[in-house]
Each structure stands twice: as C-alpha cells, then as structure tokens.
Amino acid sequence: MSDPVTKLHALLGPKGWLSGADTRPYQRDWLDRYGVVPLGVARPANTAEVSAVVRMCLEHGIAVVPQAGNTGLCGAAVAQDASTVILSLQRMTQIGEPDPTSGSILVEAGVVLAALHDALEPHGLIFPLHLGAEGSARIGGLIGTNAGGSHAFRYGMMQDLVLGLEVVLPNGEVWNGLRAVQKDNAGYCLRKLFCGSEGTLGIVTRAVLKLFPAPKQRTTALLALPDYRCAVTFGALLRDEAGEFLSGLEFFCDVGLELVLKHLKGFTFPLETRSSVYLLVELASSSTRVPLDEILSSVLEQSMEKELVQDGAIATSDAQRAHFWRVREEQPEGQRLEGPQLKHDIAVPPGAIARFIEAGERLCNEILPGIRINPFGHLADGNIHYNLSPPAGGSSFDGKDGELGQALAALATDLGGSFAAEHGLGQSKIVLADRNRSAVERRLMARLKSALDTKGLMNPGVIVSKGLTK
C-alpha cells in the first residue's frame, strides 16, 4: 500500500479523509480569491492522528496546509496546488474545565471561539477575544494569525492570551509546551513564535489560554463626532480618565453606516445626528464598586464642551448595547453586500490615525478618482480596516488593486505602522512584506522557516515566498 491517498484513508477512515467533491467546503478562502482543489482533506480527531498525517505527507513529499475555521482574509489556509493535503482541525473541539484559581483553560485547536465564550459563561469567566467571525473562527486559526479583535488594547493580542501550546512540528514530532504559567524564562519563548506563524512552522493542536473574571457591570455609548482628529483627541481623553476600565473604543464612518442601513434589515440609527465619524465606547469592570457611569458621563460632558462630540447615547439595556455593537460589527458585511471590495488591514500609532485616513483618501483618489473609502476599526490600538469600494456605478478597480495596496502600505510604513495589523500575511501580502520590510527581516523569517521546516512542506508560499526558503 504505497499510494499516500490510500494510506491516509486507511489511517483516518471515511470521516477523517475527504476527497473529490467532498472537499468543496475547504477549497476556497472566505473572500473567494484563493484556493484550488486539493489532493484531499485530512480531518484528524486527535494530536496523534495529526502527527501521523504530517509524517505520512513528509514521507511522500506532500505539502500540508493547516485549516481551522477558514475565516482568514489573506489566503493562508487553502491549497495553492492540487498535490496538497489540507489538514482540517474542525473535529478537535474538546474544551477542558476552566481553572478559576489559575485563570486558565485547556482547549483543542478546533474549538469555535463563540463556543468557548458560551462554555465559560456559567463559570463567571471570560476569554477576552472578540471579533466579527467568532461564530466560525477557531482557536487554532486565531493563534496562527495572532488575532486581535476589539479588546486587544486592553487584554493584548492572541500571543498575549496564550500561556502554553502543543504543536505538531513539520517532521511529525510533538512539542508539548502546555504550561499554564505566565512567567517562564527557560530560553526562547517558543509559544509566541508559533503565534502568527500561520501554520508555516507547525500545527497547533492544543492550547492553554488565559482567562479573566467576567465583568459585573458595563456602560456603553455610541457617539457622533465631526472628524477623525476629534476622535483621536477624545480617545486620548477617555484613556486618561477611564484607564484600565476602558474595554472598547471602536470607530466607523458614515460611509460604512450607510452601507449597513442599506443592506441589512432590522437596523435603525439610534442617534438624532448623522456625522462623519462614530465611536462605540465601552467601560467594564469585574467590581460593582467602580463608578463607570460617572466616569463616562464626566468625559462626555467635557468632550461636548470642547466640541469633540456632537451627539451620543448611552445604552440603557443589554438589547440596546447589543444593537450598538452590531452596528459596528456589521461594517464588513455591509460592504461585502455592496459588491467588489478591497480590504486593507492597517495599524499606525493611535495618534496618527487621522493623518493616515486623510492622506490615504488623497492617495486613493489620485490613483482612482471617486473611489469610495470605508475605514473602521479599533481606535485605541490604531488598527484601521481600510476598505475600498469602486466609484459609484463601477464594478471594478480598473486593475489598480496592487497600486492602491502598495500606496497604503507605504503610507502606513512611513507613519511608523504596519500593513498587516491582525490578519497576517498569508499569500496575499508577501509582495507588500518584501517591499516594505527590510531584506534583513525577510531573510530572518525565511531562515526560521527553513530551520523548522527543512523540506518546505508546511504551508509553503505563506508569509515568505517559496523561493526564499530554498
């Protein structure tokens, strides 16, 4: 039995090995830009089976692409050629018992983020990562892309929320680093090396995650502001006054709001005033003794006196709070339903947000006059999801996709920022990385890849080009 497909089918059984038409749900990325029909899809049920699949593929020189929820936006989790095996983690969904004393929990890499949230709720604990795709994104993918989300400025990104990892390496060996400790200076911090590696250095199979007490009170507001400079000033004032109680500071614009109101049913705008920029503000505390309402009301009073805020509403119920959040979280869906789009995941120092958006608008209109620009994101950590739609009535970007992407990446770099804030590089941003990061940095990444993946079979063509790792 020398045929690798026959071997993999025998190893995993009919539930664990898919081929032909059965691989269709795994073939394309979320934006439907990348992916071909793979050799097959392996669906192991445990770490031992993951290791066996990797060893078997290594023996036959077959590339392996790890896939979790396949909600990524950079084409990192789909096959680039037909001789590739996609290794799906969706059957590995066990959630351990949370340890409230240590503030940790052990989970498998296929656990859906929303399922983890639900499992923790009865215990009065939270895993503080929240993003729009949490109903389908899985822990392994979130680790692989070093996901951030709407609370990253308070709790950190995924690498800050991972205490320990179990990883199947490219040669099939298993590294067990499942330690539930925050302080571990026994050499290189290997767990952080795998966070953000997008499956190019190994396959995360289990993780020890950091937990926090659930908030006992929240206060949430939706605000209208005249421009981004006022938003940046307001954000600095709010951070000074609210400090560690600030848990959400999200922004979006009137272009994005109009798309949500146009395409999604059941939305009503809760403010009397339409404006250029909107902020979603949330303060939270695990103590009932903190006067959150007073803090927020005081900041809003100061801001209105300084004409930073034009209008606002404070949520008076959980339903109204959920509605405020949905208006922000549905920004990507509103734009998707509008038609063709270009998504750019930018980060700049928070103080440079207004400068980036103003300069970005000028650059984009010089390249393609009339282009529609919809920036939204995370004000407190400077993460801007800078999304573009064609000019009104148009159906394409006239072949200027790459020029627009490079102009925005160069602008972010010039402002001390990044063209890849929280979505990773995948295969879509390798060229941007080569142009905007030093040759030393790119060679260092290639050497790390080659050192761990000596045969170049672990998600090849992601993060670094295949040529650099040879």
Question: Are 246 and 200 part of one and the same domain?
Answer: no
Question: Are 82 and 108 part of one and the same domain?
Answer: no
The pLDDT, as a whole number, for residue 228 is: 97
Question: Are 82 and 123 part of one and the same domain?
Answer: no
- In a domain? residue 466: no
pLDDT band at 466; cut points 50, 70, 90:
confident
The residues that bridge with 112 in the sheet, in sequence order, are 138
pLDDT in tens, 95-107: 999 999 999 999 9
Distance CA(212)–CA(129), nearest Å, equals 11
* C-alpha separations of 345 from 117, 259, 263, 354, 412 in Å: 25, 19, 23, 16, 10
Average pLDDT, the chain: 95
Give the domain CATH number at 126. Answer: 3.30.465.10
Last residue of a domain, one of 37, 61, 88: 88
Question: Are 125 and 199 part of one and the same domain?
Answer: yes
Distance CA(321)–CA(246), nearest Å, equals 15
Question: What's this model's pTM, rounded to 2 decimal places?
Answer: 0.94
The pLDDT, as a whole number, for residue 470 is: 53
pLDDT in tens, 229-276: 999 999 999 999 999 999 999 999 999 999 999 999 888 888 999 999
pLDDT band at 469; cut points 50, 70, 90:
low
Q: Which helix (H) or strand (E) holds 236?
A: helix 228-242
Q: Which amino acid is at 274?
A: R
What range does the domain containing 436 cover?
340-384+391-454
Q: Which residues contact 167 (CB under 8 A, 6 or more apart)?
A: 174, 175, 177, 194, 201, 202, 203, 204, 205
- In a domain? residue 123: yes
pLDDT in tens, 302-311: 999 999 999 9
- In a domain? residue 349: yes
- In a domain? residue 459: no
Statement: residue 322 has pLDDT above 60: yes
Q: Which amino acid is at 71?
A: T
- Count of beta carbons in the 10 Å neighbourhood of residue 305: 9
| Nearest Cα residue to 87 out of 4, 8, 178 | 8
